Structure 1
Amino acid sequence: MKQLGIGVLVCLLGYYGNAQTAQQLAYIDTYKDLAVKEMKRSGIPASITLAQGLLETEAGTSDLVRRSNNHFGIKCKSTWTGPSVSHTDDAPNECFRKYATAEESYSDHSNFLKGSDRYSFLFDLASNDYKGWAYGLKKAGYATNPNYPKMLIKYIETNNLQQYDQVEMIPGDIAITAPEKLPEVKPVVKPEKKSPLAKVAEVVEKIVKPTPVVVKNPKLMAAKSKVNGIKALFAQKGTSLLAIATANDIPLAKLLEFNDRDTDGLLNEYQVIYLDKKMKQGNKYVYFSLQDETLYQVAQNFGIQLQYLVQYNNISGSARVKKGQKIFLKPTANTELTKSR
């Protein structure tokens, strides 16, 4: 809902041409569940909702969203009776809706689109037709920027947001054969029918066949990109680290080391998995947490070795970071670095 100047637009288009940024990833990780929840409730593609949120809030950093929890740039209109804030957008000091939580904003965004006749045709589209929705929103007058559809689509495809439109689809599996067990030998003694005193021992070998271990296909469950210049996979919940290591020809021990992990297992959340050693510092100086999270999650989102993030902030690697807390991604003047392992 913003009228962007030509100079700002050029900068934005250049920005969108870059690889997925850590700030975008942090926003997606924070609000993806809300977007999916609203998709199931209203029929609006989760990819569209997330892309609009990323664009309108500048990945959660805009002045408007910080003051109002308004993630979609929805103005007051004559029907709004709730709290509001003044913000300069198309005109000075316009009235924008204010929400107590981000969840209220996401819910109101769905209600706003569902409750307006001018957007009704969009709900005839398939829930995974994000391109149709992007151009339809512009056609219905959601935004004045002529490049609005392309910007949404770029956000979706750069960040692989379309995967959230398919959350109920079952991905394909691949089978990795478990180590073969040694043959188990069981002697079986059979009596000789003609002579009860004479017996012939027959040895029957039972070969235990390899048991297939089914793991989620990392190619179907992850999108490759780069974070902080490091090759990474954006892996979905339930993805096997062993499968990722095998598919990318990386020793499992190395993959665990790259990602500050001690043990193998299935991922319990959508997260970044690095295919090479992370950097010692981030690509920006400081980060204000968008949610309650662990320092490990911050390290993964920004492609930084956890041991260095611990030193920059003088807190433990398992410490929880509160929403709005300042986290240093680079060493400060007071940082005392210990020798890397």
Structure 2
Amino acid sequence: MKQLGIGVLVCLLGYYGNAQTAQQLAYIDTYKDLAVKEMKRSGIPASITLAQGLLETEAGTSDLVRRSNNHFGIKCKSTWTGPSVSHTDDAPNECFRKYATAEESYSDHSNFLKGSDRYSFLFDLASNDYKGWAYGLKKAGYATNPNYPKMLIKYIETNNLQQYDQVEMIPGDIAITAPEKLPEVKPVVKPEKKSPLAKVAEVVEKIVKPTPVVVKNPKLMAAKSKVNGIKALFAQKGTSLLAIATANDIPLAKLLEFNDRDTDGLLNEYQVIYLDKKMKQGNKHVYFSLQDETLYQVAQNFGIQLQYLVQYNNISGSARVKKGQKIFLKPTANTELTKSR
């Protein structure tokens, strides 16, 4: 929505050469459900919504989003009658819309695009055509930065955000359906010479359109990456940790240790799974929680051993972190570390 400042642009260009960052993972984990909800309501690809949110808010860390819950840089315009904040963007002290919650911002973003004639052509695109949407948004004037489409596409493809565009086709399990048009063949008996292993006439049964076959164990995501310098993969909800261990030739006990878990089981959410031991500290000093979450979730998102995160913050590993709460990702001057296990 805005022309990005030079400093932000440099950061984004630097991002191009890096793997997913923990802050981006935290943002995606927090808002992916909202993006999917809005996709089902409005037809805007969830991947595009998430990529725009990541870009406009600097993965939830920008001053504007902290003060206004405005995730998409939408300015007041003459039609806006709600609350607002002043923020310097293309010009000093411009008027930006302010929302009570992130959900309001996501909903207004959909309404903003749906309600404007200049964006109407985008809704004729396929729901999974994120590249068409990225270039179309620039063409319609959503942003002035000439690199805006490439930035969105890079965010989408690096973070595999396009998977969220498929949720209506893949609601959790994977449905595999045979082709719709199949020829009908009447039963035919082949009275050919029987082999010793086939003494019964072969019958070619009438072919009918099959019912979709549901695969109960979704495949692991193929893409691997690094978080905080540690090898990791991004596993679907319902994936077995034993399957991950087997596929990556890692003893199950080791995989559980790497991920601060005591028992095997199916993942109850899409999450990062580490294939090596996590680091003792993060790559930044402080994280302000984007949502109500557990300290364990923070440890996984930032690639930090849970026991150290507990010591840095003097709270239990099962403690819930409130939205906006400050979490130390590195030791402070007052941190007393116990012996590593």
* TM-score (norm: length of structure 2): 0.85
Change (3 A) 1:224 1:188: closer
Deviations 1:276-327 (A, max 9, x none): 1101110111111111100000000000000111111111000000111111
Q: Which residue of 1 aligns with 2:169?
A: 169
Change (3 A) 1:325 1:184: farther
Q: Which residue of 2 aligns with 1:104?
A: 104
CA distance in 1, matches of 2:24, 2:197: 82
CA distance in 2, matches of 1:318, 1:222: 30
CA distance in 2, matches of 1:217, 1:197: 35
CA distance in 2, matches of 1:150, 1:316: 42
Q: Give the % identical residues.
A: 100
Structure 2 alignment gaps of length 5 or more: none
Change (3 A) 1:170 1:220: farther
Change (3 A) 1:324 1:6: closer
Change (3 A) 1:193 1:339: same
Superposed displacement of residue 38, structure 1: 0.3
Change (3 A) 1:240 1:168: farther
Q: Which residue of 1 aligns with 2:223?
A: 223
8 Å contact 2:190–2:203 — kept in the other structure? no
Superposed displacement of residue 45, structure 1: 0.4
Superposed displacement of residue 51, structure 1: 0.3
8 Å contact 1:239–1:267 — kept in the other structure? yes
Change (3 A) 1:94 1:337: same
Q: Which residue of 1 aligns with 2:63?
A: 63
CA distance in 1, matches of 2:194, 2:6: 103
8 Å contact 1:217–1:243 — kept in the other structure? no
* TM-score (norm: length of structure 1): 0.85
Superposed displacement of residue 245, structure 1: 1.0
Superposed displacement of residue 2, structure 1: 2.1
Superposed displacement of residue 8, structure 1: 4.6
CA distance in 1, matches of 2:61, 2:296: 21
| Structure with higher strand content | 1
Deviates more, 1:245-254 or 1:105-114: 245-254
Structure 1 alignment gaps of length 5 or more: none
CA distance in 2, matches of 1:234, 1:244: 10
Deviates more, 1:168-177 or 1:19-28: 168-177
Deviates more, 1:327-336 or 1:214-223: 214-223
Change (3 A) 1:178 1:12: closer
Superposed displacement of residue 223, structure 1: 3.2
Change (3 A) 1:70 1:7: closer
CA distance in 2, matches of 1:80, 1:11: 32
CA distance in 2, matches of 1:133, 1:53: 15
8 Å contact 1:225–1:232 — kept in the other structure? yes
Deviations 1:126-155 (A, max 9, x none): 111100000000000000000000000011
8 Å contact 1:221–1:236 — kept in the other structure? yes
CA distance in 2, matches of 1:43, 1:185: 41
Q: Which residue of 2 aligns with 1:238?
A: 238
8 Å contact 1:2–1:143 — kept in the other structure? yes
Deviates more, 1:5-14 or 1:135-144: 5-14
8 Å contact 1:278–1:304 — kept in the other structure? yes
Aligned length: 341
Partner SS, residue 223 of structure 2:
strand
Deviates more, 1:16-25 or 1:300-309: 16-25
CA distance in 1, matches of 2:192, 2:113: 85
Deviations 1:149-177 (A, max 9, x none): 00000111111111111113349999999
Deviates more, 1:269-278 or 1:207-216: 207-216
Larger Rg: 1
CA distance in 2, matches of 1:279, 1:12: 25
